[in-house]
Amino acid sequence: MRKRMIAGNWKMNKTFSEAVELASGLAKELADGTGDVDVVVAPPAVDLKGVAEVIEQEQAAFALSAQNVYWEESGAYTGETAPNMLEAIGATHCIIGHSERRDYFHETDEEINKKAKALMAHGIVPISCCGESLEIREAGKHVEFVVDQIKKDTEGLEITDPSKYVIAYEPIWAIGTGKTATADDAQEVCGAIRAALVEIFGQEIADGIRVLYGGSAKPDNIAGFLEKEDVDGALVGGASLKADSFADMVRSAMA
Ligand code: 13P
């Protein structure tokens, strides 16, 4: 059985003190535990240490994720962060391949694949994003496009524990637009992702990999997504920036 995951991607929001405040608020909201739901928050890089301290001090029921990583161990890569640096401050997860990074920073599937390998070498769980543009969706090529991303992003990965690799399907046209995919739209692609994972890794591993939906997921629509067979949780942007709305989404997943 796959454990549900609700992950909050704070994107480029929250100064250090604001991040600490949000993490503390969330720790209080979730003080009674999160049942069998894995909860993850992904603050900006400069806020990671502050949120790690809140998690430790308040014994918070959520894990820490970075939003990006570089695949080299160290060296002359100005502005980048290595996996061992994330590990050293207590990040256990890292988002990779978000469409905003693919789009604005021209990240390729080959690079995303290298990032996944580098993270996994340090025991950090990649939350690897995929998803199609509106143009591709309107051309009816979304399933084919996303499956191709999955094949490239997972190329050569050795997964022995499927709970340690997570995929997030985020249709680009639904991100930050208020335009959500329907639960059936999400299932169509998440189901195709699962079928591709069976081909790549075999049934047993594929059955254990969580596939999240992301794109205008909110407290009032999350339940519909979670009902779907191949949707194992959500990667939440805007609605993760307030402790109460994010905690509501966690509670929906616990129900
Ligand atoms: P929104 O929930 O703000 O649409 O963002 C989704 C997302 O991109 C999460 O990574």
Q: How far is CA 248 from CA 6, 29, 185, 240, in A?
A: 11, 9, 23, 10
Q: State whether the beta carbon of 9 lies less than 6 angstroms from ligand 1.
A: yes
List, run by run, the mean pLDDT of 10-residue segments along the chain (255 residues): 96 98 98 97 98 98 98 98 98 98 98 98 98 95 98 98 98 87 96 98 98 96 97 98 98 93
- CB of 59 closer than 8 Å to CB of 25: no
Q: What local confidence, expressed as pLDDT, does residue 38 receive? A: 98
- CB of 191 closer than 8 Å to CB of 230: yes
Q: What local confidence, expressed as pLDDT, does residue 68 receive? A: 98
- CB of 77 closer than 8 Å to CB of 107: no
Q: State whether the beta carbon of 219 lies less than 6 angstroms from ligand 1.
A: no
Quick one: tokens of 181? Answer: 């995919």
108: left (phi over 0), alpha (psi -120 to 50) or beta: beta
Quick one: tokens of 229? Answer: 């067979």
Q: What local confidence, expressed as pLDDT, does residue 180 receive? A: 79
- Give Rg (Cα) of the chain: 17
How far is Cα 228 from Cα 234, in angstroms, rounded to an integer?
A: 12
User: How many other C-beta atoms can be found within 10 angstroms of the C-beta atom of residue 56?
Assistant: 11
Q: Quick one: which atom of ligand 1 is closest to the CA of 176?
A: 4
